[in-house]
Chain A
Amino acid sequence: MPDNAPLLKVDGLKTYFFLGGGRILRAVDGVSFRVDRGKTLGIVGESGSGKSVTARSIMRIVERPGRIVAGKVVFDGIDLLSLPDMGPIRGKRISMVFQDPGTALDPLFTVGDQFLETIRVNLKLQVGEARRRAIEAMAAVGVPDPSSALDQYPMDFSAGMIQRLMIGLAISCFPDLILADEPTTTLGVTIQAQILETLAGIQNKFGMAIILITHDFGVISEMADDIYVMYAGTCMEYGSKAALLLRPRHPYTLGLINSVPSIVSGTVGRLRTIPGFPPDMLNLPQGCPFSPRCERATQECSASKPTMTEVDSGHWVACYYPVQD
């Protein structure tokens, strides 16, 4: 396989939830992106935009009544969606860090039990070696005194330390890709900074790729190489971080960037906001899902959905009237 092939390529992914009574919630409705080795893709979007379901679809852990109905997920040349068993991939070559550290570990088992189970199943190691591997992974993410931490229970750790442990668990089997779903949302700002530094540090050291899912444009701009902006299950804009931050072309991206008051220079007067409310996912408009809230929208926008168009090299926008400078 040529070296420039992406580590992960998602193409036209659709995951729908069949709610009964013929109602279909199109949580992910045609998502396509690529992640290169050692790089970070940031998926940004508000609640209900489909970013978590995208990650769960890649791992094939979508819960019923959800189902992947279309698309391709190719990981290192392997077509994940047609794989009979995700076992050799899940937790070993692709691992996941979840949002809420409070519920991610089983409170009745020691941290060591949970680490060793994962490591022994995936790497087929004996207890002693698995323990050594667990200690290495915990040290890499900055857990103080890893060998005694293994014998403690989750309740003995703070939320920030548990999130460190989760990242340690995620890297313990040398994965090529980590899916981190809002890994810092429930943490305070100083702990968030520690976790982001830890993620960046292990990426530097071990060279794994990361998909970082968040609603926080600040976190994305700190961490990502490429940014994928989602709204109502589809992509609004996709490109390099520099392109999206310096020249956002989709009105939604621009609106998100503008609606955060500045902490550095201070914002005076009214904030520029995106009008209206998040979309009702069971009752989406026919055309562009953002059109009811968009100041630039015309009849064309509400009549048909714009497709992704390359406005600059590697910078894609789904909009009939992209923002010029």
Chain B
Amino acid sequence: MDPQILLEATDLRVHFEARKRGFLLKVPYTIRAVDGVSFDLEAGQAFGIVGESGSGKTVLLRSLIRLIEPTSGQIHALGENVLECPPKVLRHLRRHIQLVFQNPSTALHPRMTVEQACAEPLIIHGIGDRESRRQRIVETLEIVGLSTDHMKRYSHELSGGQRQRVGIARALVLQPDILLCDEPVSALDVSIRAQVLNLFQDLKSRLDLTYLIIAHDLSAVRYLCQEVAVMYLGRFVEIGPTESLYKSPKHPYTQALLASVPTIEKSLSGTKISSLPGDIPDSRRPPSGCPFHPRCPYRADICVSTRPDLEAVAEGHSVACHFWER
């Protein structure tokens, strides 16, 4: 593996077996939450995955450190084979690959002070003694813009933005290489969201971090990430450099996502948003062929029968659509 690649997922699949009540018997069926996803995470980069709820992005993120066990595929991270390594190595990996959660109000234990919440990961990984842990927590809180005054406070004594900073500090205290961020700003108010976006930007260069960020907020992903993948029903339908993907989106779903976000700029230039018909299909009964075909304005017979693979359309930019050249 290229030493610049910190994490590599190949043909990753996460399927859930479930049963629904049928006539007399329960009928088994499979939900393909993640269904054949491949990508690289390059050192020092921020990779974004956008998709609506139900696209499988959270399951994908969690499966990378086996919080949800993948069904098949390969994951290599920091020189280790994640899916076949012994528990000790997995623990080591999880120390270096940390998660930042979406909702800071529920991610922190209500009966733990900020200091206790930040000390917990250090204790679990057996790092330092009481004094050196305290020192490291003080330093980390300073990095995320909190002061020692906050250490004795409980979650409910903090504002939403401060809680998310604690969530980030908790991940950073282990000095990870990779941060996996699940909707890191979507629960925050607009004025606080910008502060936290800036913080992510600062931390990246200051601590030499690599990010994988999943979000439905297309503007935040554009701001933070160098590369973006668009996920739909468990698969990437388009992946490419941020500039290229936002400036000339090729997949009809990517185009629809970008066209459906209302913005001040669009309003001032008189552009109306346009919406896509239909809903994300039920993942228990995914459509045949291209998963997007029931909502696609350009569908043809081949889209109903044959699933398109990702194909390169430009340097580093791939699209899974039969008619991307249209």
Contact = CB atoms under 8 A, between A and B. Distances in A.
B167 interface: no
B325 interface: no
B256 interface: yes
Interface stretch (B29-37, B127-135, B188-196, B302-310): B188-196
Contact of A191 (B160, B243, B279): B279
B103 to A, nearest CB: 13
Given A189-B218, A270-B198, A263 B191 contact: no
Contacts of B220: 261
Interface in A104-129: none
B53 A222 contact: no
Given A188-B216, A190-B256, A190-B257, A263 B275 contact: no
A278 interface: yes
B10 interface: no
Interface in B236-267: 242-243, 246, 256-267
Contacts of B216: 188-189
A267 B257 CA distance: 19
A263 B201 contact: no
Interface string A283-312: 000000000010000000000000000000
Given A222-B267, A260-B219, A190 B276 contact: yes
Nearest to B55: A188
Given A261-B222, A261-B223, A271 B194 contact: yes
B197 interface: yes
Contacts of B219: 260-263
Question: For chain A, which range describes its interface: under 10, 10 to 19, 20 to 34, or 35 or more residues?
Answer: 35 or more
Given A191-B279, A194-B276, A270-B198, A260 B52 contact: no
A222 B266 contact: yes
Given A241-B267, A261-B223, A188 B191 contact: no
A24 interface: no
Contacts of A241: 267
The interface centre, meaning the residue of B198, B261, B272, B276 with most chain A CB atoms within 10 A of its CB, is B261
A4 interface: no
B222 A46 contact: no
Interface string B57-77: 000000000000000000000
Nearest to A144: B278
Given A189-B216, A193-B273, A263-B261, A277 B279 contact: no
Interface in B267-290: 267-268, 272-277, 279-280
Contacts of A197: 273, 275
A218 B263 contact: yes
B161 interface: yes
Interface string A215-231: 11111011100000000
Given A193-B260, A277-B162, A264 B191 contact: no
A197 B260 CA distance: 10
B159 interface: yes
B38 to A, nearest CB: 24
Nearest to A246: B268
A264 B261 CA distance: 10
B231 to A, nearest CB: 12
Contacts, number: 142
B265 to A, nearest CB: 5
A152 interface: no
Given A190-B260, A218-B261, A264-B265, A161 B194 contact: no
Interface in B151-193: 159-162, 189-193
A277 B188 CA distance: 11
A257 B162 CA distance: 22
Interface in A229-280: 241, 245-246, 255-257, 259-267, 270-275, 277-278
Nearest to B259: A193
A196 B201 contact: no
Contact of A189 (B159, B198, B260): B260
Given A264-B265, A277-B162, A259 B279 contact: no
Nearest to B276: A190
Interface string A181-217: 0000000111111101100000000000000000111
A215 B262 contact: no
Interface in A31-55: 46-47
Given A221-B267, A266-B222, A196 B262 contact: yes
A160 interface: yes
Given A158-B279, A261-B219, A266 B53 contact: no
Contacts of B160: 47, 278
A293 B194 CA distance: 14
Given A194-B275, A261-B223, A271-B197, A189 B257 contact: yes
A252 to B, nearest CB: 8
A215 B33 CA distance: 31
A222 B263 CA distance: 7
Nearest to B269: A264
B215 to A, nearest CB: 11
Given A196-B262, A218-B266, 11 more contacts: A189-B218, A191-B52, A193-B260, A193-B262, A196-B275, A197-B273, A197-B275, A261-B222, A262-B263, A263-B258, A277-B192
